[in-house]
Amino acid sequence: MSTGLNFLVAALRCEIDALEELARTSDLVGDIGRLVHALQRERGLSNGVLASGGHQFAGRREEQVLECLACEQAVRAGFDALAVDRRRHTANGSRLFSRIAWVLPGLDALPALRLRIGGLQLDPAQATAAFIKLVAGLLAVVFEAADGATDPDISRRLVALFNFMQGKEFAGQERACGAAAFGAGRSELARQQQWLQLIASQEASFHTFAEFASATLAARWRASQSPAQLAELERLRRVACSAPAGALLDTGLSASWFDGCSQRIDAMQAIEAELAAELRLLSQARIAQARAELEAHERLLARWAQQPPTASADFFFGSADRSAPLATGDTATPAYGRHLERSILQLVQEQAHRLQSMGDELETVRVALNERKLVERAKGLLMAHRRLSEDDAHKMLRQTAMNQKRRLVEVAESVLAMADFLPKDAAP
């Protein structure tokens, strides 16, 4: 018959399985980060090619496509590995695999998109929208990995990594937006508004990153931002964002803008790589710790099999001092058995306390993830009832938050609270 210790050992084995699964997913997150970085650069170069009518960035774009293909193969291999081992993904496997299923057709469509860009058959806005959709799908895979984490420390690192990647994506969109603006040589009001929203979105994402990252990496992120580089970035932002609608912009600034943004984003990529490495080391440490505990428990289980105690009920329900030595006349259970019994129940109690503590910490970490879910639900509601695109729905939420000086999640909550009062089929 199985004992409590048998199930405690089984619990540790399940914990190790979950940690190993999380470690594999974390490796995939690192591969996704490298692919996203490569696609972000390709997006910016593609915008430069299209905005200049093919006169700028063409050679650099072709080189970048080769880098993207190599990164894509690594991600596809990671997806395949998860598919082979799918039975072990019990926490949020359904959502994770659904995200992967959604993003794979986007990767399959990249060759056709690149042909159209090379043939100048798209405008910068269309190319940007296509890349944004694909990158958003890849980041959604990272989000599900963070949402499914069962270890609070690993979960914090994943939340930090996701928000940093999200902030970096907004920075990449800003690079593409600026490349299109300077490449076209003319200021547009809609693009200026989009630009300002991207700046605000970056700040919000990096704030959340700093909240959940380790103190070391948060400090390194602050130190990586060169004052001279930021000053030049702000200067070019002012040139483009403060110009009157229809005003001419210096097309010669396109390359300067792109290269300056690229230096900043490359510095972000270095921080992102450190985040991924930190996550990998933490996962390995957690697995090693759990295995050591399992070995100790299995040794205790072997001792139990040799001489099982006979006074479990008395020990479990009794109120006597468990640290006191046994009386000389107490022969119901040998001292060896009673001490073994104490050890087992202490382990069970420690495991219960640890799980409770982990649950409390995870609840705190998942507040940030739940806020994103609220924003996504509010966007979906606006898309359905106002017939907006996803980008326009997000812009509406962001603009409302800026106008009312409220947090984005607060605006999302207000929208969701009004769901029952919205018409079922709004007019276009």
115 domain residue, yes or no? yes
* Least confidently predicted of 87-91, 318-322, 375-379: 318-322
pLDDT in tens, 237-255: 999 999 998 889 998 898 8
Question: What is the pLDDT at residue 337?
Answer: 45
367 domain residue, yes or no? no
Question: What is the pLDDT at residue 76?
Answer: 96
- With a threshold of 0.85, does the pTM exceed it? no
**The total number of structural domains that make up the chain:** 1
408 domain residue, yes or no? no
| 338, pLDDT greater than 70 | no
Alpha helices in 307-334 (DSSP H): 312-317
106, 217, 117: which is closest to 159 by C-alpha?
Answer: 217
Q: Which residues pair with residue 186 across a beta bridge?
A: 248
- Please tell me the total number of residues recorded for the chain in this structure: 428
Host domain of residue 194: 19-288
Question: What is the pLDDT at residue 366?
Answer: 64
2, 79, 1: which is closest to 35 by C-alpha?
Answer: 79
| 142, pLDDT greater than 80 | yes
Question: What is the pLDDT at residue 167?
Answer: 93
Sign of CA dihedral 334, 337, 342, 345: negative
Question: What is the pLDDT at residue 73?
Answer: 96
Give the residue-averaged pLDDT of 180-207: 88
pLDDT in tens, 99-114: 899 999 999 999 999 9
322 domain residue, yes or no? no
44 domain residue, yes or no? yes
Say what percent of the chain tops pLDDT 70. Answer: 78
Question: What is the pLDDT at residue 352?
Answer: 58
Question: What is the pLDDT at residue 319?
Answer: 47
248 domain residue, yes or no? yes
* Least confidently predicted of 133-147, 243-257, 268-282, 338-352: 338-352
Give the residue-averaged pLDDT of 55-76: 94
| 329, pLDDT greater than 50 | no
Question: What is the pLDDT at residue 120?
Answer: 94
Question: Tokens 């926490």 identify what position?
Answer: 91
Mean pLDDT for the chain overall: 80
Helices (H) and strands (E) in the chain, counts: 14, 0
CB atoms within 10 A of CB 133: 14
184 domain residue, yes or no? yes
* Least confidently predicted of 44-53, 100-109, 141-150, 314-323: 314-323
- 3-state DSSP helix/strand/coil % of the chain, to nearest 5: 80, 0, 20
pLDDT in tens, 374-406: 878 888 888 877 778 777 887 888 888 878 788
Question: What is the pLDDT at residue 320?
Answer: 44
Question: What is the pLDDT at residue 331?
Answer: 41
Tokens of 209: 């990153």
Question: What is the pLDDT at residue 315?
Answer: 46
Torsions phi, psi for 188 (to 5 deg): -130, 135
CB atoms within 10 A of CB 85: 12
Question: What is the pLDDT at residue 44?
Answer: 86
Q: Quick check: 97 and 86 in contact, CB under 8 A?
A: yes
371 domain residue, yes or no? no
Torsions phi, psi for 353 (to 5 deg): -65, -40
